[in-house]
């Protein structure tokens, strides 16, 4: 589904990703771990198409298309979803309106009829349960005045509604208490299907107690320095990152 | 990225066409003779000519205000023309006699004056340059006893009402532009709603400046008698021309005891090109006086004009009277706006609300200027002010000048202000959910203006939506 080959990306003069290669198949969950500043969030943003990063070489193939050729909105319409580390506030625009606008853009892209607010209510009602959110949240402005946990849950709600093929969760666990973490993780698990894939970007292992990855990759200094199965995450939790980093600097 | 945003907010001005009609235009220049000539052309009574002359003499002693936060080349008042009327207009018995060119002009502007295509529930007075082209739905209004006509007609048919209220809220000596208007105003709209009557239709005036080098100086007078209620809408457009044109209007509202007046404006005068060439100088005085238990509400969406200088205000004269001001002001290109309101609390338990939303893009400069004044007898007066600015791009500016004067200790005043910027992050967030950049900006701006748009009457809400190129659905939900 996703094939990243020798990807290099920079912000201004500074190269952050220095040759990433990664293949993700349908039905898989990949965890990308690594110390702060290793390039994890950059990778997530580049996949989603953030204009602040310049891809200097390498390629990303998604569903047989050149992903880098697509605008961010076209990627979203094609089924790529980024759950933001810091969800953005849009005052005065209700969550319900925003979600329906996004939902309809994706339907339009697939030549499906748009839903009116009444029809959309039914879609919402079911999805709200996935993240244990109250319907009153839909009438509040997008993320404005939300607590950290509410913002993250709202991201997962959007993911539930938009039903992406490829979901990238960028540090979705950061700032969550244990209950919120459970709700978010269960939400992600409920949304798992054989034809979609998830990339979980995280600093800590604890999220992976709830979302069991098929593959774990360690990113440091803009490169994947180690890949393995779910046991790698436990090893990292026990030993930290240093034992992996030393050979790189030596 | 910011250049993308700017190109999106830089939509082509679609009302910039010129109508070819024969006009009766007086030579440029402004002297006492000009004032007499205008009054004569309007066949006015002696008292009105006297009033104009007093205004003119006062104007000659005054100087243009320099305190607004705007800059422009000095205006040569002798180079302007102060009266221009389509020849075909004088004196019409019915709308059927209106020059088809003029009807077509209003059709193009989306305002139908012809019987069959009329907007249901709205009566329109169309002002073309210096004169009223026609007023629709008069007979329907007459049944309710509501008078809605051009100012000229009001002077002829209802002189006692005009004489009683003209200048009672904005005296001719009020300020430089009000004095100029009082001397040379050519037409405008007049509304009188009798005691206890709720006006059955929305009233609307559509202002169009067509002639070159001609100023538009209209005067609107709205009187709501005791217990009456009326909603009034105003729209404005002008052709694209390279020269600046002057628009110095006066609007006076008299809201007698227990009455309610809602006045909404969607101002879309030509703003000039991206280099600041041409565009309307919009120097307008709008004020209402609310008597006991009366309410005056101003809502404005200001998107046009090279320069806007305008402070729709309420004098809260009577006890328990209410004043409201809801404003969205958008500047783009080289536009400058210095706009806001004045709420003067005189009576006891008077209340006022000010919600101002300024949006600056391009190299536009947007200033909010507001005054809240509580006089010694205004026991229990309350004001709430919220003043928000949004910046799009890096070359524009937002400024806030609030003035607060309180002479009564029991008054409660609240002031909130914020400045935000449409950031790449907000746009990227929307794009990452499948919305394109244009849709993203619309959505963010609509959210920002929500509190003001919900105050607009339906017909204008739609126009405002088209104007800002945004979807209102999200803001009314």
pLDDT at A237 over 80: yes
pLDDT at B93 over 60: no
Highest-scoring range by mean pLDDT, B175-184, B301-310, B442-451: B175-184
By mean pLDDT, which of A46-55, B62-71, B167-176 is the weakest? B62-71
Task: Give the tens place of pLDDT for each residue, A9-28.
Answer: 999 899 999 999 999 999 99
Read off the pLDDT of each residue in B263-276 and give the average, rounded to a whole number. 78
What 3-state class would DSSP assign to B290?
A: strand
What angle, 0 to 180 degrees and rounded to 10, lies between the N-to-C axes of helices B176-184 and B46-60? 150
**Does the beta-carbon distance from B432 to A82 stay under 8 Å?**
yes
Angstroms from A238 CA to nearest CA on chain B: 36
3-state secondary structure B398-437: EEEEEEEEECCCCCEEEEEEEEEECCHHHHHHHHCCCCCH
What is the per-residue pLDDT for A204? 82
For the purposes of burial, counting CB atoms within 10 Å of the CB of B61, is it exposed (0-12), middle (13-18) or buried (19 or more)? exposed
pLDDT at B115 over 50: no
Distances in whole angstroms, Cα of residue B154 to Cα of each of A41, A126, B161, B199: 69, 62, 8, 18
The answer, yes or no, to whether ipTM is higher than 0.85 is yes
pLDDT at B120 over 60: no
- Tokens read off for B91: 């004196």
**Does the beta-carbon distance from B425 to A88 stay under 8 Å?**
yes
What is the per-residue pLDDT for B214? 67
Structural domain boundaries, residue A61: 2-249
Cα separation, B12 vs A24, in Å, equals 46
Helix (H) or strand (E) holding B3: helix B2-9
Residues 6+ apart with CB under 8 A from B12: none
**Nearest C-alpha in A relative to B2:** A51
pLDDT at A86 over 60: yes
Cα separation, B81 vs A22, in Å, equals 73
By mean pLDDT, which of A91-100, A233-242, B318-327, B461-470 is the weakest? B461-470
Cα separation, B70 vs B64, in Å, equals 12
User: How many CB atoms within 10 Å of residue B229?
Assistant: 18
User: How many CB atoms within 10 Å of residue A69?
Assistant: 10
**Does the beta-carbon distance from A105 to B429 stay under 8 Å?**
no
Instruction: For chain A, give the percent of residues with pLDDT over 70.
Output: 98
Owner of token pair 């890949």: A227
Task: Give the tens place of pLDDT for each residue, B361-420.
Answer: 888 899 999 999 999 999 999 999 999 998 887 888 999 999 999 999 999 999 999 888
Mean pLDDT score of chain B = 83
- What confidence tier does B428 reach under pLDDT thresholds 50, 70, 90? very high
**Nearest C-alpha in A relative to B429:** A88
**Does the beta-carbon distance from B447 to A90 stay under 8 Å?**
yes
User: How many CB atoms within 10 Å of residue A70?
Assistant: 17
Task: Give the tens place of pLDDT for each residue, B184-216.
Answer: 998 888 999 999 999 988 888 877 666 666 677
- Tokens read off for B315: 């004098």
Cα separation, B110 vs B463, in Å, equals 10
pLDDT at B20 over 60: yes
pLDDT at B8 over 80: no
Read off the pLDDT of each residue in B270-290 and give the average, rounded to a whole number. 85
What is the per-residue pLDDT for B476? 24
Handedness of CA A54, A59, A61, A65 (dihedral sign): positive
- What confidence tier does B108 reach under pLDDT thresholds 50, 70, 90? low
What is the per-residue pLDDT for A218? 94
Given A52, A93, A102, which is nearest B447 (Cβ)?
A93
Mutating which of A41, A73, A82 best tests the B interface, going by the most B Cβ atoms within 10 A? A73
- Chain B positions contacting chain A at CB under 8 Å are 1, 420, 424-426, 428-437, 439, 443-444, 446-451, 473-475, 477
**Does the beta-carbon distance from A91 to B447 stay under 8 Å?**
yes
Given A48, A94, A109, which is nearest B432 (Cβ)?
A48
Find the CATH number of the domain harbouring A150. Answer: 3.40.50.300
- What confidence tier does B236 reach under pLDDT thresholds 50, 70, 90? low
**Does the beta-carbon distance from A51 to B424 stay under 8 Å?**
yes
Taking alpha carbons only, the member of B428, B446, B449 closest to residue B437 is: B428
**Nearest C-alpha in A relative to B434:** A73
User: How many CB atoms within 10 Å of residue B118?
Assistant: 15
The total number of structural domains in chain A stands at: 1
What 3-state class would DSSP assign to B476?
A: helix
What is the per-residue pLDDT for B1? 37
B477 interaction partners in chain A (CB closer than 8 Å): 94, 96-97, 117, 139
A49 interaction partners in chain B (CB closer than 8 Å): 431-432
**Does the beta-carbon distance from B428 to A109 stay under 8 Å?**
no
User: CB–CB of B305/B330 below 8 Å?
Assistant: no
Taking alpha carbons only, the member of B210, B164, B162, B160 closest to residue B188 is: B162
Instruction: For chain B, give the percent of residues with pLDDT over 70.
Output: 77
**Does the beta-carbon distance from B434 to A106 stay under 8 Å?**
yes
Cα separation, A61 vs B254, in Å, equals 69
Length in residues, chain A:
250
Angstroms from A189 CA to nearest CA on chain B: 21
Angstroms from B270 CA to nearest CA on chain A: 29
- Chain A positions contacting chain B at CB under 8 Å are 48-52, 71-73, 75-77, 81-82, 84, 87-88, 90-94, 96-98, 101-102, 105-106, 109, 117, 139, 141, 158, 162
What is the per-residue pLDDT for B238? 59
Q: At A121, give phi and psi (nearest 5°).
A: -55, -40
Taking alpha carbons only, the member of B76, B124, A36 closest to residue B114 is: B124
Read off the pLDDT of each residue in B53-62 and give the average, rounded to a whole number. 96
**Nearest C-alpha in B relative to A107:** B434
- Residues pairing with B329 in the sheet: B302, B358
Helix (H) or strand (E) holding B197: none
Size of interface A-B (CB pairs under 8 A): 90
Cβ-count burial B189-217 (b if 16+ within 10 Å, e if not): bbbbbbeebebebbbbbbbbbbbeebbbb
Q: What letter would DSSP give residue B342?
A: E
Given B433, B450, B477, which is nearest A102 (Cβ)?
B433
């Amino acid at each position: 589904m996703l094939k990243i080959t020798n990807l290099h990306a920079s912000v201004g003069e500074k190269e952050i990703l220095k040759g990433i290669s990664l293949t993700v198949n349908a039905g898989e969950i990949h965890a990308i771990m690594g110390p702060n500043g290793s390039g994890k969030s950059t990778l997530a943003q580049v996949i989603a198409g953030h204009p602040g990063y310049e891809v200097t070489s390498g390629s990303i193939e998604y569903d047989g298309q050149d992903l880098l050729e697509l605008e961010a909105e076209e990627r979203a319409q094609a089924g790529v979803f980024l759950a933001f580390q810091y969800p953005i506030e849009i005052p005065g625009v209700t969550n319900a309106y925003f979600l329906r606008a996004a939902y309809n853009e994706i339907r339009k892209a697939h030549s499906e009829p748009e839903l009116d607010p009444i029809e959309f209510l039914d879609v919402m009602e079911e999805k709200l349960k996935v993240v244990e959110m109250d319907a009153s949240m839909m009438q509040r402005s997008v993320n404005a005045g939300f607590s950290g946990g509410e913002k993250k849950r709202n991201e997962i709600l959007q993911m539930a509604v938009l039903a992406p093929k490829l979901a990238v969760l960028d540090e979705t666990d950061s700032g969550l208490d244990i209950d919120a973490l459970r709700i978010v993780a269960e939400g992600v698990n409920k949304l798992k299907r054989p034809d979609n894939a998830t990339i979980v970007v995280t600093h800590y292992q604890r999220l992976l107690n709830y979302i069991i990855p098929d593959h774990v990759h360690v990113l440091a200094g803009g490169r994947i320095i180690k890949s393995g199965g779910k046991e790698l995450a436990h090893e990292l939790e026990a030993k930290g990152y240093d034992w992996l980093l030393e050979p790189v600097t030596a | 990225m910011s250049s993308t945003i700017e190109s999106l907010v830089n939509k082509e001005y679609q009302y910039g066409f010129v109508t070819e009609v024969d006009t009766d235009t007086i030579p440029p220049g402004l002297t006492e003779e000009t004032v007499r000539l205008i009054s004569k052309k309007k066949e006015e009574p002696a008292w009105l000519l006297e009033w104009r002359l007093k205004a003119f003499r006062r104007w000659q002693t005054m100087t243009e205000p320099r305190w607004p936060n705007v800059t422009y080349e000095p205006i040569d008042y002798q180079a302007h023309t102060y009266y221009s009327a389509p020849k075909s207009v004088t004196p019409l018995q019915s709308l059927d006699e209106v020059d088809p060119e003029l009807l077509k002009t209003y059709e193009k502007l989306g305002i139908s004056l012809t019987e069959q295509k009329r907007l249901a529930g709205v009566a329109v007075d169309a002002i073309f340059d210096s004169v009223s082209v026609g007023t629709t739905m008069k007979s329907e209004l007459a049944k309710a006893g509501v008078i809605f006509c051009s100012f000229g007609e009001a002077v002829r048919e209802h002189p006692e009402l005009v004489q009683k209220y003209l200048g009672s809220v904005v005296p001719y000596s009020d300020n430089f532009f009000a004095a100029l208007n009082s001397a040379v105003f050519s037409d405008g709209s007049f509304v009188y709603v009798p005691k206890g009557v709720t006006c059955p239709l929305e009233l609307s005036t559509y202002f169009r400046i067509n002639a070159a080098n001609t100023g538009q100086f209209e005067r609107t007078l709205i009187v709501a008698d005791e217990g009456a209620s009326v909603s009034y809408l105003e729209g404005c457009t002008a052709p694209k021309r390279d020269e600046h044109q002057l628009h110095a209007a006066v609007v006076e509202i008299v809201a007698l005891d227990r009455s309610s007046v809602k006045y909404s404006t969607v101002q879309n005068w030509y703003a000039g090109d991206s280099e600041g060439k041409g565009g309307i100088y919009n120097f307008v005085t709008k004020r209402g006086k609310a008597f006991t238990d009366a309410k005056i509400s101003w809502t404005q969406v200001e998107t046009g004009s090279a320069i806007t200088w305008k402070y729709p205000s309420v004098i809260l004269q009577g006890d328990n009277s209410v004043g409201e001001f809801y404003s969205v002001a958008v500047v783009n290109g080289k536009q400058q706006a210095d706009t806001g309101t004045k709420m003067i609390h005189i009576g006891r338990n008077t209340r006022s609300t000010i919600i101002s939303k300024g949006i600056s893009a391009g190299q536009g400069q947007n200033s909010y200027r507001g005054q809240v004044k509580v006089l010694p007898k205004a026991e229990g007066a309350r004001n709430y002010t919220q003043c928000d600015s949004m910046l799009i791009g890096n070359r524009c500016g937002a400024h806030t000048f609030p003035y607060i004067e309180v002479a009564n200790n029991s008054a409660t005043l609240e002031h909130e202000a914020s400045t935000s910027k449409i950031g790449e992050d907000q746009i990227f967030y929307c794009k990452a959910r499948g919305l394109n950049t244009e849709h993203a900006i619309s959505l963010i701006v609509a959210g920002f203006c929500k509190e003001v748009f919900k105050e607009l009457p339906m017909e204008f809400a739609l126009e405002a939506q088209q104007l800002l190129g945004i979807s209102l659905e999200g803001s009314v939900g």
